[in-house]
Amino acid sequence: MVDRFDELLKSAGKSLGIPLHTDKHHACAIQVRHGIVVQLQSDVSQEKLLIASKVAEITPGKFRENVLREALKANGMADPRVGVFAYLSATNHLVLFQYYPFDLLTGERLANMLGPFTEAVEAWHNAIVAGRPAPPTVHPPGPHPFGLRP
């Protein structure tokens, strides 16, 4: 039986120019930058791929409330979104994750998806480390009444 996840990792690794393979937990962790790791994992049925990363640890207090509020706002934005934010209370981490159906994935598509996902993780990580509850919002260009911006 062909393991869809292993085949996808090999193909994505070729596109990225790095060897990708599963570990003993049948997952693949890619260290992007110091402190930022993107994990790839198949669901049990091998129908969906999970892409996930811890963004940053956020300690209890007003700042955490502000970060979580901003993350909820980001979760409410229209698609396409690179992921959904969640909070792991056991470790006080903000997490970004997304599921993709294997039927829609190729190695090249996965490699192309990892860039925007990683950029989002890094932007939020850098903002939180710098004491900001979210990265600066990018507003799409377009007409605004009286030149006002949202």
Give the integer Cα–Cα distance in Å for 79 and 81. Answer: 5
Six-digit token string for 17 = 């120019």
pLDDT attached to residue 49: 95
User: For residues 41 and 139, which has the higher predicted lDDT (pLDDT)?
Assistant: 41
Report yes or no: 4 and 46 within 8 Å, Cβ to Cβ. yes
Query: Predicted confidence band at 4 (pLDDT cuts at 50, 70, 90)?
Result: confident
Residues whose CB falls within 8 Å of the CB of residue 72, separated by 6 or more in sequence, listed in order: 85
3-state class of 15 per DSSP?
helix
Q: Give the helix/strand (H/E) hosting 52.
A: strand 48-57
User: For residues 124 and 147, which has the higher predicted lDDT (pLDDT)?
Assistant: 124
Phi, psi of 108 (to 5 degrees): -65, -40
Q: Residue 59 CB: number of other CB atoms within 10 A?
A: 7
- What percent of the chain is predicted at pLDDT more than 70? 90
Least confident window among 32-41, 60-69, 136-145? 136-145
Largest Cα–Cα distance in the chain?
62
Q: Does position 47 have pLDDT exceeding 60, yes or no?
A: yes
Residue carrying structure tokens 């996808």: 8
> What pLDDT digit, counting tens, does each position of 55-104 carry?
999 999 999 999 999 999 999 988 888 999 999 999 999 999 999 999 99
- What percent of the chain is predicted at pLDDT more than 90? 71
Q: Does position 141 have pLDDT exceeding 60, yes or no?
A: no
Report yes or no: 108 and 100 within 8 Å, Cβ to Cβ. no
Question: What is the DSSP annotation of 54-84?
Answer: EEEE--SSHHHHHHHHHHHHHHTSPSP-S-E
